[in-house]
Structure 1
């Protein structure tokens, strides 16, 4: 047994299976990309009541909590610091409740359930939660980071699909608060649940969520399209929304280096434009419909074909109407392919989509001029203004990887994003230890003052989460 009385009190609350110490904590201490620390222990409650009791104990003892879902985040928001004094509060065992209301098209689910598991439960009802990601995050983590994904242009992000939240508060310690309901229309005051969306656990522990779910598509059509020019990219997007807006669901851009990274990583993938070379830029377009062709007579593949033919030469230089799984495999293989090229320096940014191609040119020119040893591998959600702008430091580069150089690159790129293009340094992944300095730099004094007031009310000791949004530190 551990000689630490606090640890033993935690053990009494959750049992031996719910408490991890020593090497057993390892998977919970390192993030998917950034964030690695030490923890006093990892606590894994199996019920909301257990979460409440753990929070009460930690508040009483003044111990900081780091809420953690599936730990798939990319900014270090769900991992402890190096002090060894924090408790990681893992919600991975809190996944027993899943109440589906088919007629209301809603589901109430525990925070620890993963996206894949939720969609597996929804499948027999012809429903899904359509936030499409390369990872398998927990629902609580998705709320805490306001996840977007490849189909945001059609379905919105988590915030737009969130109906209600259950949150365990720090003040009063352990109080279970319920915000919202399974109603789509309720204008009775402040929408308090939104205070916990995208704030990475600041102010309370998300334990349950009610989500709007959607009919699963019955048919889809996918194409990989080479725009006629840079200017044609956004013009093509506008035409899709104008002419096929009821079916338009994805518009994913990929540079030539991004596509080559995927081809080299996954030998089974082929260049769909062969024998022509990989184009400088291509867009993965998808249409979806939940309507039955039996009643509408609509065949999406024919619809997409006609659209592309109508815009050949003006907006479209080439197009491949391919196998859906194969084309999406190309898109989803880019990240791992980029890692194989060297050491990635990853950016998840957004700009007004009307300026996306201008941003790519400006960022590429800056990188080529100041950091010529790096290779740009960029791809992302052009339709919502988001882009994963990765620069790879090749292992065989003449100049060795240098932390100070990388810090300078981050400063330079974020200055272009935020100052020159009015964009965001964190389009999807939220704020964590990794990008907290940029939060401090780019968040207004008014915003931080209001965040400080909220924190003082919800978490007066500042015990929950990894970041202080009132100060950026």
Structure 2
């Protein structure tokens, strides 16, 4: 029996997609990555996932797991060989909310928006804020963080347990919804943030958080680059756990978003857009008797800060939370529409984030003066989306070798000179593989290879850790 005949016997006709036209949306990534698959597998449960993985392992075929396919590093799409099998988890859609445990047991194909819509009825949410609408399985595979990492952490901090299929088809169930369990190694962390290489997550038990009952935002204009970290420390000191986001936005990125989405409100009008601004959010589950409205608390605290440390803050603008977040979430598409986008997802110690950006601005002004730096990101956790926009006629827009050289330069400075990470929260896909090969500790790579052999296969997916 051929491999595809075996897959059809496992999945039934509705679970196997072979035709080119029908495979197109699975072969195409969220942006630029596109490959050619042999077929798309659509299992309906963990048992079918395991049977497909075991059959592929026996035939020496590579499986690429895919959730909502919103990733940006070619981690969920096939290569160009036409031999990869995409295993779509889109049919694994079960959701069970446990209000008493403040948790949810969900299939890997459940979209974040669907989970939160159902959890909201119980007064809860998975509070990881993203510009896209990914699947829960993909969020686990990439250890997604998002804009509210500062308060709620990443997926690793919110996964209580999971079920997964190993590279040889064995099924493991790890964690029982417990927040405390020190009976041995916490094996689920091998599956979180490792791109599906060690196994395909099919079901996840998630810790939920109470929905905030009160939220307020301000857009801060720091007095200069050197005052951004002192502002963050002041915000943490004044608001504690109520501080949920501290998002940096360069003026170039803001202008790109305003140009691309005319319906956005310009919070600085009629004044010009500043060189840099920060979206700060504070929230609380509920106010205690006698507590002032959160908007008043935020404005009063920032007013006091301006009096006590006038050298830190040049301006603060206030408005409805939805308006501030609409601007923040429009940045990605805005910079993408502004020209040829060369994007990086980097992470640093918090004190190094702005120093790296300043260093690269200075260097690029000499080596690539046509490149506009449109950075934005998570100042509160050291993450930065370091985006370069170049005009269509630039060598970096027309010559793949020139673009690759620029990418290598930026990553080299980030990793070697600043001790940063080349993948803050997109994990490893084909686009990051060369950087993993270049910068990963050889000892750790050897351990990863040994672990893959122990798990009974050469690994799953687009990334390679050995």
Same fold (TM over 0.5): yes
Distance (whole Å) between structure 2 residues aligned to residue 54 and residue 399 of structure 1: 41
Residue 428 of structure 1: aligned partner: 425
Give the secondary-structure state (helix, strand or coil) at the position aligned to 2:353.
helix
Please give the residue correspondences for 1:370-385 in structure 2 after superposition, counting only pairs within 5 Å: 370-385=367-382
Distance (whole Å) between structure 2 residues aligned to residue 296 and residue 338 of structure 1: 44
Query: Could you list the per-position Cα deviations for residues 307-360 of structure 1 after superposition, in whole angstroms to 9, with x for gaps in the alignment?
Result: 111122232111111121111111111111112211100000011111222111
Question: How far apart are residue 295 of structure 1 and its match?
Answer: 3.6
Distance (whole Å) between structure 2 residues aligned to residue 162 and residue 334 of structure 1: 29
Distance (whole Å) between structure 1 residues aligned to residue 292 and residue 121 of structure 2: 24
Residue 446 of structure 2: aligned partner: 449
Give the secondary-structure state (helix, strand or coil) at the position aligned to 2:91.
coil
Please give the residue correspondences for 1:302-313 in structure 2 after superposition, counting only pairs within 5 Å: 302-312=296-306, 313=310
Residue 223 of structure 1: aligned partner: 218
Residue among 122, 125, 130 paired with 1:128: 125
8 A Cα contact 1:62 1:463, kept in partner: no
- Given the alignment of the two structures, is residue 333 of structure 1 paired with residue 333 of structure 2, yes or no? no
8 A Cα contact 1:34 1:434, kept in partner: no
Question: How far apart are residue 299 of structure 1 and its match?
Answer: 1.9
Distance (whole Å) between structure 1 residues aligned to residue 324 and residue 166 of structure 2: 44
Q: Which moved more, 1:34-43 or 1:124-133?
A: 34-43
Question: How far apart are residue 396 of structure 1 and its match?
Answer: 5.3
Please give the residue correspondences for 1:206-285 in structure 2 after superposition, counting only pairs within 5 Å: 206-285=201-280
Residue among 269, 284, 291 paired with 1:289: 284
Residue 315 of structure 2: aligned partner: 318
Distance (whole Å) between structure 2 residues aligned to residue 350 and residue 399 of structure 1: 24
8 A Cα contact 2:396 2:403, kept in partner: no
Residue 465 of structure 1: aligned partner: 461
Residue 178 of structure 1: aligned partner: 173
Residue among 388, 392, 408 paired with 1:391: 388
Q: TM-score, normalised by structure 2?
A: 0.96
Task: Structure 1 unaligned segments of length 5 or more: list them.
Answer: none
Distance (whole Å) between structure 2 residues aligned to residue 60 and residue 225 of structure 1: 57
Distance (whole Å) between structure 2 residues aligned to residue 317 and residue 85 of structure 1: 57
- Given the alignment of the two structures, is residue 32 of structure 1 paired with residue 26 of structure 2, yes or no? no
Q: Which runs of 4+ in 1 moved over 4 A?
A: 396-400
Question: How far apart are residue 273 of structure 1 and its match?
Answer: 1.6
Residue among 360, 364, 378 paired with 1:367: 364
Q: Which moved more, 1:333-342 or 1:281-290?
A: 333-342
Distance (whole Å) between structure 2 residues aligned to residue 252 and residue 144 of structure 1: 24
Please give the residue correspondences for 1:106-145 in structure 2 after superposition, counting only pairs within 5 Å: 106-145=103-142
Distance (whole Å) between structure 1 residues aligned to residue 451 and residue 376 of structure 2: 36
Give the secondary-structure state (helix, strand or coil) at the position aligned to 1:354.
helix
The size of the alignment, in residue pairs, is 462
Residue 42 of structure 1: aligned partner: 40
- Given the alignment of the two structures, is residue 82 of structure 1 paired with residue 80 of structure 2, yes or no? yes
8 A Cα contact 2:395 2:403, kept in partner: no
Question: How far apart are residue 56 of structure 1 and its match?
Answer: 2.1
Distance (whole Å) between structure 2 residues aligned to residue 433 and residue 397 of structure 1: 25
8 A Cα contact 1:248 1:286, kept in partner: yes
